[in-house]
Amino acid sequence: MRAAAATAALWLGLAGAGVRAQATQPTPLVEPGPALGAGWRPAGLPAQKVPATRHAAVELDGRAALRLEAAASYGHLVFDLPGAPAPRRLRWRWRIDEPNPLADLSRKEGDDAAAKVCLAFELPMEHVPFMERQLLRLARSRTGEPLPAATLCWVWGRAEARDALLPNPYSRRVRVIVLRNEGDGTGRWFDEDRDVAADWRRAFGDESETMPPLAAVIVGADADNTGARSVAHVAGLRFGP
């Protein structure tokens, strides 16, 4: 995400969201075949000039998985769930095959991730701090889109400590929890099982103890700030009781 894209690149490229959905959870990210799951759509930046991150459904180690290839690129897959109740748990498995050697989530110049899984929330505007509220209103006005007021991402970092909580260097409307880092190596699957409410309170509890409804689920990778390359895989994304 580049600074010129403004305010965290409009919250993970969710311009275009807002199609009302009746679903309460996403379809499988990858279906047998393999093929991308129905309802998942690519999303990027408004008037994006950098290449789009490549998403492909593949079979790897006997399982259907989403391949994320970022090369000086930006892009996500989004499943819109406007107004759906947030899940109690969020589960998935992932692996890094080629890490981004220049990533640094604490700096704008390094704000890239080889893999991220995010939930965007419909946080009421009255919970957003005043100055950030004005920026969000401006972004919504300029894009004509209902950009989410809060997005929580779980990311595979590089040198950041595991379990570190970081604000996005462009906007506090996006906050990230680092689950894995370079110490976890490459080519190895890891299973994740997150208590969404606990992570919400940790990340956004200063604004609302109550977890708001969802806006969307996002999976992606980016390397536009570093101009580097990364490859990762994500599989088995699902909500849990």
Q: What is the pLDDT of residue 18?
A: 45
Task: Please state, in angstroms and rounded to a whole number, the distance separating the CA atoms of residues 86 and 160.
Answer: 27
Q: What is the pLDDT of residue 154?
A: 98
Q: Report the residue count for the chain.
A: 241
Helix (H) or strand (E) holding 81: none
Q: Is the peptide bond before 34 cis (omega within 30 degrees of 0)?
A: yes
Q: What's this model's pTM, rounded to 2 decimal places?
A: 0.89
Number of domains into which the chain is organized: 1
Residue 235 near residue 59, CB atoms below 8 Å: no
Residue 229 near residue 98, CB atoms below 8 Å: yes
CATH number at residue 232: 2.60.120.430
Task: Please state, in angstroms and rounded to a whole number, the distance separating the CA atoms of residues 153 and 17.
Answer: 17
Task: Please state, in angstroms and rounded to a whole number, the distance separating the CA atoms of residues 220 and 117.
Answer: 7
Query: At residue 117, what is the residue type?
Result: V
Domain span at residue 192? 3-240
Question: pLDDT for 85-112, tens place per residue?
Answer: 999 999 999 999 999 999 999 999 999 9
SS3 state at 179: strand
Report residue 6's pLDDT band, with 50, 70 and 90 as the boundaries.
Answer: very low
CB atoms within 10 A of CB 240: 13
